Amino acid sequence: MLTTLEKLQEEIINCQKCPRLVLHRERIARGKKRQYRDWEYWGKPMPSFGDPDARVLVVGLAPAAHGGNRTGRMFTGDRSGDFLYQTLYRFGFSNQPISRHREDGLTLSDLYITAVVRCAPPNNKPSREELANCHSYFLQELELLKNVQVVVSLGRIAFDACLRAFQKRGIVLPRPRPTFGHGYVYTLAHYLTLIASYHPSRQNTQTGRLTQEMFDAIFEEVRRYI
């Protein structure tokens, strides 16, 4: 019997709300990338995944065109995922340091991964309307993940989406309003902490804007709060 969280993921996988994203993700899945020509691309909206009893929620932006849109799992099959899962493994949240496919045996412990947009957007830039269309899914997940104590937002867009979602759930934000910055920590309620991080995109990690030491510091903070 499916849980409500599993039913929500089924609804997400069948979503057709954003015509531009539907067209883009399916076009990518048909055309493929030369090095992945033997793959059968996922080419659908991306379900979130992890431990439904998790105390930690990691919030990303959107699946990559030839990463999650290919493999069927968030942060899988690209450099961002390699950076993230190696870190989660070292901090005891993942059973393996690498994820290549949605059926490769990776499991998460005490951590759940989601994103504010579920389809790969052109140029990694979803529109405001597309962000709004996906926001209801994020709100439902926050309601269903009963044990979350720490939310890690990867990037400014995810950070802003988290603040909007918390307000809609009746959480009063501190004043002045929280602003995004790597390593910024906000206690939003007696049971909820928001930690901001730069996104582990190749653009950030290869330029040194986000180093392994900086990313480790985020999850050291997470462990401190749980």
| pLDDT tens figures, 102-142 | 999 999 999 999 999 999 999 989 999 999 999 999 999 99
Tell which residue, 202, 200, 192, 191, has the closest CA to residue 158: 200
Does residue 38 surpass a pLDDT of 90? yes
Beta-carbon contacts of residue 5 (< 8 Å; ≥ 6 apart): 52, 141, 144, 145
Q: Please identify, in words, the CATH class of the domain defined by 4-225.
A: alpha beta
Q: CA-to-CA distance for 203 and 121, rounded, in angstroms?
A: 17
Give the model's pLDDT for residue 191: 84
Instruction: Please work out, in degrees rounded to the nearest 5, the angle formed at the alpha carbon of residue 22 by the alpha carbons of 125 and 76.
Output: 65
- Over range 191-204, report the average pLDDT: 96
Taking all residues of the chain, what is their mean pLDDT, rounded to a whole number? 96
| pLDDT tens figures, 132-149 | 999 999 999 999 999 999
Give the model's pLDDT for residue 190: 78
Does residue 42 surpass a pLDDT of 90? yes
Give the model's pLDDT for residue 216: 98
Helix (H) or strand (E) holding 6: helix 4-13
Residue with tokens 């799992």: 73
In 10 A of CB 196, how many CB atoms? 23
Q: CA-to-CA distance for 203 and 147, rounded, in angstroms?
A: 33
Instruction: Please work out, in degrees rounded to the nearest 5, the angle formed at the alpha carbon of residue 58 by the alpha carbons of 117 and 92.
Output: 145
Q: CA-to-CA distance for 139 and 213, rounded, in angstroms?
A: 32
pTM for the structure as a whole: 0.96
Strand partners, 192: 189
Pairing of strands 111-115, 56-60: parallel
- Over range 190-195, report the average pLDDT: 92
Return the structure tokens found at 50.
Answer: 């992890």
Give the model's pLDDT for residue 189: 81
* Percentage of the residues of the chain whose pLDDT score is greater than 90: 96
